[in-house]
Chains A and B, each alone.
Chain A
Amino acid sequence: MAEVHNWQLGRGMSYPYEAAYPKRQFAFVFNINRCIACQTCTMACKSTWTFSKGQEHMWWANVETKPYGGYPQSWDIKTLRLLEEADPDGQQWRGDADGRSAPYGQFGGKSIFEAQLPEKAAESQRVLGYLPTDEEWNSPNIWEDNAVGPKGKRDALHPTGVELPTHDTWFFYLARICNHCSYPACLAACPRKAIYKRPEDGVVLIDQKQCRGYRKCVEACPYKKSMYRGNVRVSEKCIACYPRLEGKDPERPGEPMETRCMAACIGQLRMQGLVEIEADGTWKEDRYNPLYYLVHVAKVALPLYPQFGTQPNGYYIPPRWAPRPYLRQMFGPGVDDAIERYIHPDRELLGVLQLFRRDNRIIYRYALEDGEEIYRTTYRGKQHVVYDDTVIALGRDGKELFRTTVEEPFHVRSDRHANSI
Chain B
Amino acid sequence: MPYGRPDPSDPNILVGVRLPADEDGLVEMAYTFAEEFAALGHGEDRILRMFHNPRFGGPHAAYRALGEEVVRGIVAECTRVFGRNRLVVRDAEPIKNGERLGSRREE
Contacts and interface: CB of A to CB of B under 8 A. Distances in A.
Interface stretch (B42-50, B85-93, B99-107): B85-93
A246 interface: no
A377 B81 CA distance: 7
Contacts of A320: 28, 31-32
A165 B15 contact: no
B6 interface: yes
Interface of A: 33, 67-69, 73-74, 77-78, 135-136, 138-139, 142-144, 147-155, 158, 160-162, 164-170, 320-324, 326, 343, 374-375, 377, 379-380, 384, 407, 409-414, 416-417
Given A321-B32, A417-B91, A161 B17 contact: yes
Given A168-B61, A169-B17, A170-B29, 14 more contacts: A67-B19, A73-B2, A73-B12, A143-B14, A150-B15, A151-B15, A152-B9, A158-B15, A166-B60, A168-B18, A321-B21, A322-B25, A324-B24, A377-B81
Contacts of A77: 12
Contacts of B12: 73-74, 77-78
B64 A68 contact: no
Contacts, number: 130
A149 B19 contact: no
Interface of B: 1-3, 5-6, 8-9, 12-22, 24-25, 28-29, 31-32, 41, 54-55, 57-58, 60-61, 64, 77, 80-81, 84-92
A194 B106 CA distance: 49
A416 B91 CA distance: 9
14 contacts: A69-B14, A77-B12, A143-B2, A152-B9, A158-B18, A162-B17, A164-B54, A166-B54, A166-B64, A320-B32, A321-B28, A343-B31, A410-B87, A411-B88
Nearest to A68: B14
A305 B15 CA distance: 22
B61 A411 contact: no
A169 B18 contact: yes
A151 B61 contact: no
B60 A165 contact: yes
A150 B84 CA distance: 45
Contact of A412 (B1, B20, B87): B87
A153 B8 CA distance: 6
* Ranked 4 nearest A-B pairs via Cβ: A167-B57, A165-B54, A139-B2, A161-B17
A268 B47 CA distance: 24
B2 A135 contact: yes
B1 A148 contact: no
Contact of A144 (B14, B15, B86): B14
A209 to B, nearest CB: 33
Contacts of B86: 407, 409-410
